[in-house]
Amino acid sequence: MNPRMTGSNNRILALQWVTIAWMLVECSLALHAAWRARSTSLLAFGSDSLIELFSANVVLLQFAPWIRISERRAARLCGSLLYALALIVIVIAFITFFQQLEVDSSPLGIAVTCAALILMPVLARLKRNEANRNGNQALRADAVQSATCAYLAALTLGGLLARMLFDIDRIDSVVALGAVPILLVEARRARQGHFCSHC
pLDDT, position 28: 95
What average pLDDT is seen over the chain? 79
| Within-domain flag for 128 | yes
Backbone angles phi, psi at 102, to 5 degrees: -80, 120
129: left (phi over 0), alpha (psi -120 to 50) or beta: alpha
In a domain, 55, yes or no: yes
H-only helix segments in the chain: 3-37, 40-61, 71-99, 107-134, 137-166, 171-178, 180-191
Q: What is the pLDDT of residues 95-144, one digit of tens each?
A: 777 766 566 778 899 999 999 999 999 999 999 999 888 887 778 878 87
Supply the DSSP symbol for 125. Answer: H
**43-72: per-residue pLDDT in tens?**
878 888 887 888 788 778 777 666 666 666
In a domain, 60, yes or no: yes
Domain count, the chain: 1
Other Cβ atoms less than 10 A from the Cβ of 1: the count is: 6
Domain boundaries, position 7: 3-191
Q: pLDDT higher for 187 or 107?
A: 107
In a domain? residue 76? yes
198 lies in some domain: no
